[in-house]
Amino acid sequence: MPDLQSGLIDDILEAGWMMNFLRLHMDPYWSNTPGCTPDGHELPNCFSETRFRKYLDEVFIPMAEYAISKGLYVIIRPPGVSPEVIGVEDDYNYADYLMTVWDIMSSHPRIKNRHEIMFELANEPVRIKLADGSVGANTQAHFDVLKEIFQPIVDRIRSNGFHNVLWIPGSGYQAHYKGFAVNPIEGDNIGYAVHIYPGWFGSANGYEEFKSEWDAQVKPVADMAPIVITEMDWADEKYESSWGKGHTGTAGGEGFGANFKKMMDDSGNASWLLFTDAHLLAQFTGEPPAPGEPYTFLNDPEACPWPVYHWYQEYALKDYPRPAFERQSLSDNGDGTYTNPLIHADFPDPDVIRVGDVYYMVSTTMHIFPGATLLKSYDLVNWEYCSNPLEMIASSDAYQLLNGEDRYARGQWASSLRYHNGQFYILFNTLDEGSFLLTAEDPEGLWSLKPLAGSYYDPGLLFDEDGKIYVVHGINTLKMTELNENFEALGHDEVVVERPGEGLEGSHLYKINGYYYIYATYGGWPASQVVFRSANIMGPYEEKFLLDDDNIHQGALIETQTGEWWTVMFYDKGAFGRLPNLQPVAWNDNWPVVGANGQGVTTFRKPDVGREYPTKVLPTNDNFRHYKLGGQWGWNHQADHSKWSLFDRPGFLRLQTAGVVSGFLEARNTLTQRIFAYHSDEIDSYGTIKLHIQEMKEGDVAGLAVFQDPYAFIGVKVVDGEKRLIMENNGLEQTGAAIAEPVIYLRAVANYGSSKARFFYSLDNTSYTPFGSELDMAFNLSIFTGNKFGIFNYATKEPGGYVDVDWFSTEKNFSEERFYDDRFTGYTEEQLTLTRLYVESDNLNMLLGTSKTLNVYAVYQDGHEENVTSSAEFMVSRPDVIKMVYGQLIALKNGTAIITASYEGPLGGSQSLEINVVSKTFPLISGLFNPSIWENGSFNEATGELITGQWGFGGWQYDNGIDLSDYKYIVVQLKQATNSGASFRLFDESSYWSSAATYDLGSQTQLVVDLHNMQKEVGGQMVPANPANLYIIGFWSHGNIPILIDRVYLSNSDDLTPTALKETLRQTSETDIVDVYNLTGVRLKSGVYVKMLRMVCRWGFTSSGTSFWVVRRWS
């Protein structure tokens, strides 16, 4: 990279600009063919792919890498600017040009895995060419074409393995975006790049108009996706140093800069830069002019550099990046390979399925609740928590650790996971209570538990192609049972395989290429994997040995989207438990072949799932600021939920003692999580808690355990009124020093290679002192899960004491201030308790062919409000009249509809409200009738009086276009004749400057437009106007003379009788049948009775898949 550019970056940072990203324009100087003259400013006709590739390596990537080395993110835009007119096909084949550029960029090995690099897909599209050849900028049809241009580019970028943020430009020099709210670019990590200069968005007319135009053009997408402002500046024109000519002004008043900042701050979803010459920014000193000296561009408070510099300083005090956690256990090597174990923690007995592009894996949790942990992945290598579907099995003493009873080494195990006809199923068995079935439509939502009459040991469920349901089950003797739709056995069990005394178990059932396969294991130690095959579900079955290597066994067969086959099994790895293992599968003569050369693979290429996905790490750290426990946590047995809280002291986990017990294994409400190991035995597994102990009572014991059989813990015990350090190891107790401080840090350090655990304490989180003896960790069948960290508090004398856990961390060096934003401390119960919903208006009028943003607000018990539109469910009584997509109501035809919005608060408490929506073609309603389509006019709704500006036009603008071809006539009636020279005009193109079908009103009070015989003048000739594609309709006049409009209506009758509108506004009844949609317009339920919907209406908070990478602003 030229030293000049690196020097500029250094100088800007040294000047004190607290920025965290830059926008890199790949100047076409480097990519244009020498000697070629562009047709216009930076147009792409001189582009040379050879030169682009060369200087991408020599100039642009080094520059981006240097910026990254300085702690900056980089947004890269393509060479040059968009042609004046672009389309799916245009004079420059611009879509193909962009595809070439971004295909090269996203597949480049120095770019594709750099999370610091983002792409802005084009610079300033202006006008959009439709399929009919017409050109415009801001109707839905134009945004639909933009999607046709950009969606294939996004898909190519993703298929190349680049998964960082993509910024999508709008039309009108990147000022128009509302149509993307209706038809957004699809995929993860999608945002929109906006340009703003003084005068744009009505900003020259003060804050209110500025905000109104922003709300109309950009807010619809800002409500659903992040926004970045990639061009913005201002200054007095005398400085000749800025693109935008304006002043800072006052927030909420006049001027540009302060109002811009206010809108960005209020948006909460917008990041922004200063588009000013880098050389000038490097010269900034932060010094005001000396007395008597004139202002300069750099120190004038009314020019952009001075206020922006200081705003960035303010932002940087609170919005700064926190480091990633350092101790992360993962199997993705970052080079297209993975290394087993797939997950270095206890997730045994896996069953895995694929639903669309998502893989789901269930595992055994035994006596841990909530249990039956369900993970999800997009590539079979990187996994996330999806849910813990099993809340409880039975309200018995054994499951609640009461009266000396327990369910250690029992409970849920070896589940079968399936998806069929929109429903997820988890079938599992217990040794004591029999079999159970968990079901859900949303795997991240609520699951229902149903006990079954039969008992199916290690079940394998199959929904056959003929609609029948089967389960294979058993140990040594495998039996096949047909089930009905209620999962009741039909007939008797059929024995299909017998292997007496050989430990045959862990079966899963498949139908592949016409054969039935029982994928099973010979368990115990050592274990191996086999498969049985038959052309008939009831056999006979023939057997094939598959794998006997490193105890890898028991799991699932999975086919990827690309037709590859893989298997996820597990292997026993000592004290840390039974770890998932991923092996390739080939097919030979309709038999699966597992591994490579008869052995399991350790490091191998990742599965081909059609594209690459970013690395994910299962979380372990927790500072207990969320209102729910993270997916990594599970209680030892079913918890007493009245004895723990995340609300009593926000930002802490409060553990009250739950009864008086004799020791750790009897203690209720011990909170556990799996201990993760690493691929290097030299890396220890840390677990540390910060524990507040002021409220412990006599005999209470609280601390941190490594939990299996044997177990050990380090903690605090109250003895004779004194808090003392205690360590218990395999039943032997050791007492240490008295603890006078109210807070103590307790630590356990486990090592996978040695199966040893050591214990430490600290009073300052800096110096840790070892205490007690080492634990020899083991995997004992009396517990039957891998060793876990456990946070506990139990009473041995009297109940009533409690401790507060500030945080748990698996880092060696941890503090909340280092890793978390310390401005947020946690939720209160009042903050999460929903009291009511409201909208700005529950009676809406809409112009046919337009869209309108609907915002639903929730009011909580503490009085605060939130926009919950994105989390609500919507019931549409007439989806043929009103459609809802991404919070946008779209008026499809004349009529009325009732929108029922329903939302359930985080802690429950469902609320609903109804919004009446009326869609009209020619409403004489202020806000829908626009008197200023051209020149400023006025309209009085009460009298129907329109006064246009000079040579002005007022009427109706249909953003999405309307189709009036089903009607014969438009009838225009005036209250009295006008002498304004008025004409009634209809435009079948979106631009006001296109030709219109024109009808002079003269002295008439009634005008009839024959819709199927309309003519307009084009090139001196009269041609038909299209009634199926109308965008603007209304009145032109000389101006400043009233036009008194009585009504405008449609008719299909030669006697001009108004066409009756059959739709009438009414309340929905409980017997009405409706469809239910989410914010994105996806139909969630069809044909639902309103009564039933009101009974079951809910919306859950789900785990993030973090869709977008975004900060509140760039500081």
Give the catalytic positions in this structure: 349, 505
Amino acid at 456: Y
d(CA 1080, CA 871): 10
Cα 213 to Cα 134, 936, 961, distances in angstroms: 25, 16, 21
Separation between Cα atoms, residue 1042 and residue 1048, nearest integer Å: 17
Sequence letter at residue 261? K
Q: How far is 448 from 446, CA to CA, in rounded Å? A: 7
**HEC string of 648-673?**
CCCCCEEEECCCECCCHHHCCCCEEE
In angstroms, how far is CA 239 from the centroid of its own chain? Answer: 44
Where does residue 881 rank: exposed (0-12), middle (13-18), buried (19+ CB within 10 A)? buried
How far is the C-alpha of 393 from the C-alpha of 370, rounded, in Å? 10
Q: For 864, which DSSP code?
A: -
Give how far Cα 1000 sits from Cα of 60, 1005, 1014, 1065, Å: 60, 11, 13, 36
Rounded Cα–Cα distance for residues 81 and 76 (Å): 13
Q: Residue 703 is which amino acid?
A: G
With CA atoms as reference, report the closest residue to 604 among 635, 577, 566. 566
User: Whose structure tokens read 């993703």?
Assistant: 158
CB 129 within 8 Å of CB 142:
no
What would the two tokens of residue 626 be? 């969320």
Contacts of 813 (CB under 8 A, 6+ apart): none
CB atoms within 10 A of CB 986: 23
Q: Which two tokens stand for residue 795?
A: 């009473």
Is the Cβ–Cβ distance between 425 and 374 less than 8 Å? no
Nearest to 364 by CA among 622, 641, 572: 572
- Greatest Cα pair distance, the chain, in angstroms, is 107
Q: Which residues contact 42 (CB under 8 A, 6 or more apart)?
A: 28, 79, 80, 81
User: In sequence order, what are the residues at sequence separation of 6 or more whose Cβ sits closer than 8 angstroms to the Cβ of residue 743?
Assistant: 690, 691, 692, 693, 763, 806
| Three-state SS at 216 | helix
Q: Is the omega angle on the peptide bond into residue 341 within 30 degrees of 0, that is, cis? A: yes
Angstrom distances, CA of residue 205 to CA of 202, 256, 948, 952: 6, 9, 20, 20
Nearest CA-CA partner of 464 in 511, 523, 497: 511
Torsion over CA: 112, 115, 117, 119 (sign): positive
DSSP secondary structure string, 766-830? Answer: SS-EE-SPPEE----TTT-S--EEEEEEEBSS-S--EEEEEEEE--SS--HHHHS-TT-----HH
Q: Are 265 and 1114 in contact (CB under 8 A)?
A: no
Burial class (CB in 10 A: 0-12, 13-18, 19+), 374: buried
Could you tell me the sign of the dihedral formed by the alpha carbons of 492, 497, 500, 501, in that order? negative
From the list 225, 223, 241, 232, the residue with the least C-alpha distance to 201 is: 232
What H or E segment, with its residue span, contains residue 397?
none
